Chains A and B, each alone.
Chain A
Amino acid sequence: MIRRLWRHRAGRAGLALAAAVVLLALLGPLAWPYQPDLPDYARQLTPPDARHWLGTDAAGRDQLARVLAGTGTSLTAVAAVFALTALIGLVVGAVAGFLGGPVDAVVGRTIDVLLGLPPQITALAIVGALGVGTGNLVVALVLAGWAYPARIARAAVLGSHRRLDVLAARLAGIGRWRILTGHVLPGAVTTVLVAATTTAGETVLTLAGLSFLGLGAQPPAAELGQLLADSQSSLVSSPWLLIGPTAVIAAMVAAAMLTADALADITDPAPAPARAGRRARAARTGGDGALVATGLSVRYPDGTHALRGVDLTLAAGTALAVVGESGCGKTTLARTVLRLLPAGTAIGGAVHVAGRDLLHLDRRALRRSRGYLVGYVAQDPYAACDPLRSLGHHVAAPWRVHRRRPPAGVVRDRIAGLGIDPGRLRDRPHRWSGGMVQRATIAAATAHRPAVTVADEPTSALDAGLAEEVLATLRGASSALLLVTHDLRLAAAHSDRVAVMYAGRIIETGRSGDVLDAPRHPYTAALLAATPRPDGTPVRGLPGSPPSLRDLPAGCPFAPRCDRRVADCASREPTLSDGVACWNPR
């Protein structure tokens, strides 16, 4: 855990800051010659100089010595609050979740109620009753703060009943206790630590605030918040007294925040947003056809080389299906044509749509061209619609986003033409069937009759029967269609030409019927064998997995899975010639 934190940028900064503060508190008082509580009335309120780096306070005590001592007090208190809240929270939450029944009901209610109270006020009130002092402050903060980690721990344990890996373990006959220790607790401990770290920064600030109010450490003991309070009366003349305590408090809060951010990052594997970057220079060549891509290559910021030189032509009025396994680059191809790649992606080559150089449109021109040059039909129709807005809004959106009014009656006509009941346009998407919503998104995508419609797996979220209808609708509404799918049979039935992709390249292309009847590349043949037929012939799988696109070995990337391997395959990568990229085609 610590090692993974160290590898994370924010995590390393957080750990380093925390270590620095701890070292300061431990070694500082030993190394610094002045006593924190020894007044020297001859040297009151001196500004920082070579002897007193942070100056002296109203009693002539060395401010740095007081800050070092105060850091120790504050750090101990924060560490105690952190450890106690995390421990109590984990134990109470996990035990309640594990036992279930009435115990859990009572604990769960208690946690809910406590979380409904403002923590700082609760802490303040408890200190008010117990009396001032650092120890009482710690007790108050723990009493006010344990409920949050407890809720997290309880949720982790309770939620585990529905976790799929836990269900599988249960069915395999693994006992409750071993499921708890093996599957549930390791995750719960991590989430509780993340939660406790997230609140640690707040603890530092609350502690400083309450000490500032005089509710914490009592003089002559030093504490950071109390140092700030002490300096209050002489601030107009000696503002530098603020520097030391503030810097240490800020460092402690920053350490907690950075570590918490990093912990959340490394425990949540969702990819980080890409950073802005530059785009590779692209060759300028014109083209006929609705869509012409030449030498297209795409490399993501993480090094994945998703497209490695793709040439394709989509003639106006036709449909081209791009087919392949997950990770072959087909979705990247679609998103390149849509210019929806994450920032920082390096793009080479050229894409021309209706003769316009798509990759060199500036932001403004790109925005204006969108919906007119390229239309987009996404995979999941529900995800493609803003759930807060009606279906009618989505059909009219192509005009509205360009700040135009939809021509009178056009929306209604298009809707009716797609077999949608115009009377229900005010209903939100989730009240419609998937097929209907997908038809509406097709209507929206093709509203301006774009030169090319790009559809990425437009039917994989729909039932098989609907897929045929929706594809026919899509085909009819598009002037030229780029259909991306993994289903070769479906693709061939709804396109004029097929391009099969593997490891970021097109490895076979041809007329749909020809490819379907007589695949020439071994991979195309394997893809066909794996695709279910309506007659129920058993499907045949393909051993192995596609290669990683980060560092491809030399030779044909398909060779390790290929049953027609020849000597050349290991050394040289074949290029597309006569519609197939293979040293030993069928």
Chain B
Amino acid sequence: MTAVVAAVGISRRYGPVTALAELSLAVAPGQILGVTGPSGVGKSTLLRLLAGLERPDTGHVAYAGEPAWAGRGVRYPRPGYVMPVFQNPTASLNPRWPIWRSLTEPLTAPGRERPGRARRRHLAAEWLARAHLDHIDPDTRPGALSGGQCQRVAVLRALVARPALIVADEPTARQDVITAAATSQLIAAATAAGTAAAVVVSHDRAWLAGLAHQIVDLA
């Protein structure tokens, strides 16, 4: 089986600071890889490199066996191949948009079905219901939601894209245990079908232990 994402000897420096020393890893479909370690060891840098948000200084990243940085920019096998979940849930949703719009934005990418407005609201409500969030009105703006609710919407937004790889950077750092549990359930359910893989960074080892199939300690 081809790895969803493979990294060979990747490293990254910011000026004189080495953010990530050489590292290699591969994640197979359906797998959840946990990444932990003290602050400043390059957990977030690793995620940004795996997500193709930054180009590694050395080494290669490959998606489904194809090199990610072939030409000038990053190349994904398809739109929404990698989807992110961030530490700050409120900032990861557009504050001006009702959540149905953020939630279904991945569907409007080129080559996707590009549903109309009414259809998008309907789909958003469906996704919310699937995550037991049917009490949230799809027309709400992120400012009116709690951080925990925003985080669950942000995870759902990632899932709507039907990603091959979910990268989550400290998704529970500012959340209470209930939100953290809901987040890990959503990620686990998405990978259980075998279509998606996930790389999850967290400093909460106990929480990670309950979610990941394998844990890398970047100490």
Contacts and interface: CB of A to CB of B under 8 A. Distances in A.
Tell me if chains A and B make direct contact, with any CB pair below 8 A.
yes
A529 B210 CA distance: 11
Helix, strand, loop or mixed for chain A's interface?
Answer: loop
A167 interface: yes
Interface of A: 163-165, 167-169, 171-175, 178, 182-183, 186-187, 269, 325-327, 463-464, 486-488, 526-527, 529-546, 560
B206 A530 contact: no
A168 B85 CA distance: 8
B86 A327 contact: no
Given A165-B93, A172-B161, A540 B185 contact: yes
Interface stretch (B6-14, B18-26, B101-109, B118-126): B101-109
Given A172-B106, A173-B109, A539 B95 contact: no
Given A187-B96, A326-B176, 11 more contacts: A167-B84, A168-B154, A172-B105, A174-B108, A186-B96, A269-B143, A325-B177, A526-B178, A538-B184, A539-B181, A543-B133
Contacts of A182: 94
Contacts of B157: 168
Contact of B105 (A167, A174, A545): A174
B209 interface: yes
B78 A532 contact: no
Contacts of B158: 168
A167 B178 contact: no
Contacts of A487: 177
Contacts of A488: 177
A543 B132 contact: yes
A534 B206 contact: yes
9 contacts: A164-B88, A168-B86, A169-B105, A175-B110, A186-B96, A187-B96, A530-B180, A532-B210, A542-B181
Contact of B135 (A464, A529, A537, A545): A545
Nearest to A545: B149
A542 B80 contact: no
Pick the most buried of B82, B143, B176, B210: most chain A CB atoms within 10 A of its CB.
B176
B110 A464 contact: no
Nearest to B48: A167
Contacts of A544: 132-133, 135
Interface size range on B against A? 35 or more
Interface of B: 38-39, 51-53, 76, 78-84, 86, 88, 91-96, 102, 105-106, 108-112, 132-133, 135-136, 143, 146-149, 154, 157-158, 161, 175-185, 188, 203-207, 209-211
Contact of B209 (A165, A174, A186, A534): A534
A298 to B, nearest CB: 19
A168 B92 contact: yes
B83 A542 contact: no
B182 to A, nearest CB: 4
Contacts of B112: 173
Contacts of A530: 177-178, 180-181
A158 to B, nearest CB: 16
Contact of A173 (B78, B136, B143): B78
B77 to A, nearest CB: 11
Contacts of B110: 173, 175
A486 B173 CA distance: 12
Contacts of A532: 177, 180, 204, 206-207, 209-210
Nearest to A547: B135
Given A171-B83, A175-B110, A326-B147, A541 B206 contact: no
- Name the 4 nearest CB pairs between A and B, nearest first: A173-B79, A543-B132, A536-B209, A173-B109
B178 A165 contact: no
A519 B111 CA distance: 51
